[in-house]
Amino acid sequence: MPEKESRSRKSAQNLLNFIQKSPTSFHAAENAAAELERQGFVRLQENREWKLAPGGEYYVMRNGSSLIAFSIPEQPFEGFQMICSHTDSPAFKIKEIPELEGSGYVRLNVEKYGGALLVPWFDRPLSAAGRLLVRTPEGISSVLVNIDRDLLIIPSLAIHLNREANNGYKYQIQKDLCPLYTQGAGKRTFLALAAEEAGVKEEALLGAELYLYNRQKGTFTGADEEFISSPRLDDLQCLFASLQGFLQAENRRSIKMFCAFDNEEVGSRSRQGAASTFLPYTLERICCGLGGGREKLMTALASSFIISADNAHAVHPAYPEKSDAQNRPRMNGGIVIKYNAYQKYTTDARSAAVLKLLCGQAGVPWQTYVNHSDAAGGSTLGNILNAQVSPYTADIGLAQLAMHSPYETAGAEDSWYLEQAAKEFYSSALVVDEKENLRLE
Ligand code: ZN
């Protein structure tokens, strides 16, 4: 296998391993934190004073599901180089009092989280993961849990009993999507099982946030194994690749920042989402922690760049008419630069120029995405972040199929491309002159 191919293969395999152990946003943030710890990053607490030093490497979490890591150069810094992605994916959240009894079965009561494609959730082994809130002698603590076995299934209704199933049937979440849990009503509650799995006493439980997840592992598909198919490629593919680029890059002139937010799939307006105070407060505290004031923050932000990295739609083989006539990304085609006249994507000609220059320097291909003019398309982090802090910003992604299915498909080479582009971006500082000419150093 040629060297480039084996490096991109390894990068894709590492991604699949990361996704496998990250069934929820809590686990994704926790696993990113563990990788940062291994590299010597120091954890900061939002409720403690930050004492930062030039050359220091730090990270901070909010809610256990959003994370910002940053690395400070030895010399005075120019601005911030940020890549932002999201930790969450569409799923089903298990409701309070989860058991639904009837017809000799117990099912679990769920509500939809985000814009999930419903049909692929049927007839495949599922389980549940998330966090438990537990009473301890000291107070309340949060414990991550993953019930790591094939536990649940959402059975379809047989075709004989629903002749309309293949004719665009409208599924109802409350009726159709509640997974089968047991026939043993009254024996062991679902929360008792989750508590046992987490090694905590059921009597000590004070709360739970648990989500269904698909048990099928990620794998390589295609005649030349040119595709990867896996749960949660949107957006753990961008998260993981930007984290690798972040960890590999050296930067002497700007503060490099890796940002991963929860709740993008439900609009980002939560305590820890991209629309929250998490990023602006962190930026301000970095400046203050280094002895600078608000003026320093404002000047630094004007020499900063945000890449909002969230996966993009590849042209679908059966539905080419759903894509734009020209700007139709393909898997393994490299970084997708996203444009939208209504500013759902923040890329403008200037920020795109920066990206094209960076990709060229990194030896990475790029391609463009614009919605079909008669389709609304989606939205993502970039424009929400721009309402909080407003440096130069661009939206990118990696091309994939079946977005928001519990099993998605993307290009096996593209993770490597984003790692390389992210490394190049994080190694650069943006210099802006008085005529707003940009230079990357
Ligand atoms: Zn996404």
Report the C-alpha gap between 381 and 175 in whole angstroms: 32
Indicate whether 224 belongs to any domain: no
CA of 356 to the centre of ligand 1 (A): 22
Distance from residue 234's CA to the centre of ligand 1 (Å): 5
Show the 3-state SS of the chain. CCHHHHHHHHHHHHHHHHHHCCCCHHHHHHHHHHHHHHCCCEEECCCCCCCCCCCCEEEEEECCCEEEEEECCCCCCCCEEEEEEECCCCEEEEEEEEEEEECCEEEEEEEEECCCCCHHHCCCCEEEEEEEEEEECCEEEEEEEECCCCCEECCCCCCCCCCCCCCCCCCCHHHHCCCEEECCCCCCCHHHHHHHHHCCCHHHEEEEEEEEEECCCCEEECCCCCEEEECCHHHHHHHHHHHHHHHHCCCCCCEEEEEEECCHHHCCCCCCCCCCCHHHHHHHHHHHHCCCCHHHHHHHHCCCEEEEECCEECCCCCCHHHCCCCCCCCCCCCEEEEECCCCCCCCCHHHHHHHHHHHHHHCCCEEEEECCCCCCCCCCCHHHHHCCCCCEEEEEECEEECCCCCCEEEECCHHHHHHHHHHHHHCCCEEECCCCCEEEC
Report CA(399)–ligand 1 centroid distance (Å): 11
Looking at residue 410, its pLDDT comes to 98
Q: How far is the CA of 229 from the centre of ligand 1 (A)?
A: 16
Q: Print the domain residue range for 283.
A: 3-89+231-440
In the reported structure, the alpha carbon of residue 212 is separated from the centroid of ligand 1 by a whole-number distance in angstroms of 18
What's the 79 CA to ligand 1 centre distance in angstroms?
26
Going from the Cα of 380 to the center of ligand 1, the distance in angstroms, rounded, reads 7
Total domain count, the chain:
2
> What pLDDT band is residue 1 in, cutting at 50, 70 and 90?
low
Claim to verify: residue 201 and residue 120 sit in the same structural domain: yes
- CA of residue 428 to ligand 1 center, whole Å: 26
Ligand 1 centroid from CA 379, angstroms: 9
Residues in the chain: 441
> What is the Å distance from ligand 1's center to 22 Cα?
15
> Is 284 found in the same domain as 201?
no
By the 10 Å C-beta count (0-12 exposed, 13-18 middle, 19+ buried), 58 is classed as buried
Q: Is residue 162 part of a domain?
A: yes
Based on the fold, state whether residues 103 and 79 are members of the same structural domain: no
Share above pLDDT 70 across residues of the chain, in percent, rounded to a whole number:
99
- Residue 163 alpha carbon to ligand 1 centre in Å: 34
The answer to whether residue 375 scores a pLDDT higher than 90 is no
Handedness of CA 316, 323, 218, 406 (dihedral sign): negative
The reply to whether 67 and 115 lie within a common domain is no
Residue 126: inside a domain: yes
Q: Are residues 140 and 236 in the same domain?
A: no
Together in a domain, 275 and 144: no
Arithmetic mean of pLDDT, 140-153: 98
Tokens 């990788």 belong to 35
- Determine, yes or no, domain membership for 325: yes
Q: Of 145, 109, 115, which Cα lies nearest the Cα of 128?
A: 145
> Do both 274 and 406 map to the same domain?
yes
Mean pLDDT for the chain overall: 96
Take residue 198 and report the two structure tokens written for it: 């987490």
255 and 201 assigned to the same domain: no
Residues 248 and 368 in one domain: yes
Residue 241 Cα to ligand 1 middle (Å):
14
Determine the distance separating the centroid of ligand 1 and the alpha carbon of 310, expressed in angstroms.
Answer: 5
Chosen domain end from 214, 241, 258: 214
C-alpha to C-alpha distances, 431 to 63, 265, 293, 337, 436, nearest whole angstrom: 35, 34, 20, 22, 9
Residue that terminates a domain, selected from 214, 248, 280: 214
Whether residue 244 lies inside any domain: the answer is: yes
Q: How far is the CA of 86 from the centre of ligand 1 (A)?
A: 7
d(CA 173, ligand 1 centre) in Å? 22
Residue 248 alpha carbon to ligand 1 centre in Å: 24
Q: Which of 101, 181, 105, 117 is nearest to 149 (CA)?
A: 181
Domain membership of residue 221 (yes or no) is: no
The pLDDT, as a whole number, for residue 379 is 83
The verdict on 301 and 396 lying in the same domain is yes
**What is the model's pLDDT at position 425?**
97
Mean pLDDT, residues 394-414: 98
**Cα-to-centroid distance, 168 and ligand 1 (Å):** 26
Assess whether 61 and 177 both reside in one domain: no
* Predicted confidence band of residue 378 (pLDDT cuts 50, 70, 90): confident
Residue that is last in its domain, among 214, 245, 270: 214
- CA of 130 from ligand 1 middle (Å) equals 19
Q: If you measure from the C-alpha of residue 205 to the centroid of ligand 1, how many angstroms do you get, rounded to a whole number?
A: 32
Please report, for residues 21, 68, 149, 212, the alpha-carbon distance to residue 89 in angstroms, rounded to integers and kept in the order given: 14, 19, 20, 11
Q: Decide if 60 contacts 259 (C-beta within 8 A).
A: no
Query: How far does the centroid of ligand 1 lie from the alpha carbon of residue 225, in Å?
Result: 24
Tell me the pairing of strands 57-62 and 66-71.
antiparallel
Distance 77 CA to ligand 1 centre (A): 31
Confidence bin at 4 (pLDDT 50/70/90): low
**Measured on CA atoms in the order 7, 10, 12, 14, is the torsion positive or negative?**
negative
CATH number at residue 70: 3.40.630.10
pLDDT at 143 over 70: yes
Q: Looking at the domain assignment, is residue 226 inside a domain?
A: no
How far is the centre of ligand 1, averaged over its atoms, from the C-alpha of 138 (Å)?
A: 38
| Whole-structure pTM value | 0.97
Q: Which residues pair with 99 in a beta bridge?
A: 108
Ligand 1 centre and the CA of 237: distance in Å?
10
Distance 303 CA to ligand 1 centre (A): 27
Closest CA to 358 of 257, 241, 438: 438
CATH number, domain with residue 173: 2.30.250.10
CA distance 209 to 293: 39
Q: Indicate whether 83 belongs to any domain.
A: yes
Q: What pLDDT was estimated at residue 186?
A: 72
Separation of CA 231 and ligand 1 centre (Å):
12
Do 40 and 108 lie in one domain? The reply is no
How close is the Cα of 366 to the center of ligand 1, in Å? 19
Q: What is the mean pLDDT of residues 106-128?
A: 97
